[in-house]
A = this chain, B = another copy of it.
Amino acid sequence: MSENSRPHVRTRRDHRTETAEDYVEAVLQVINERGVCRVVDLAKRFAVSHVTVTKTVSRLKTGGYLARELYGPIELTRKGRRMAEASMERHRIVYEFLVALGITSSTAEVDAEGMEHHVSEETLAKFKEFVAARGGK
């Protein structure tokens, strides 16, 4: 409760987990799309240099989310996969909510990428409800 319920404090906390969430999610998607996930794949997806990806992957390896050996592909640990699945689900709900609201799919894609990290459980539940109710429109 306490410190977590102060707006800016919660927002800063959201931002601290954002990179991990986006990375594990991307790794899972790339693996599903191409079999393995390499540094370049993430660099393209995030539009950052391969150096940034390498460094971030190292941090996430230390954090126990990713596994990787030198020059090898990027893999998800159990912990990472759990987070990836939860993130994808949440991301999907936010996206579908925006679409159900009448937002263009391309705008919904972009907005959802940032919004997803700031949606509480309570709000996510309402989003899901809304999609179920007026799903097609």
Contact = CB atoms under 8 A, between A and B. Distances in A.
Contacts of A89: none
A14 B103 contact: no
Interface in A112-129: 112-115, 117-120, 122-123, 126
A32 interface: no
A103 B118 contact: no
Contact of A3 (B46, B47, B103, B115): B47
Interface residues of A, number: 37
Q: Main SS of chain A's interface residues? A: helix
A10 interface: yes
Which of A6, A7, A22, A119 has the most chain B CB atoms closer than 10 A to its own CB? A7
Contacts of A22: 8
Given A6-B110, A10-B114, 18 more contacts: A3-B47, A5-B110, A7-B110, A7-B112, A7-B113, A8-B22, A8-B47, A9-B47, A10-B110, A11-B110, A98-B123, A103-B126, A104-B122, A107-B122, A108-B123, A111-B118, A114-B118, A115-B115
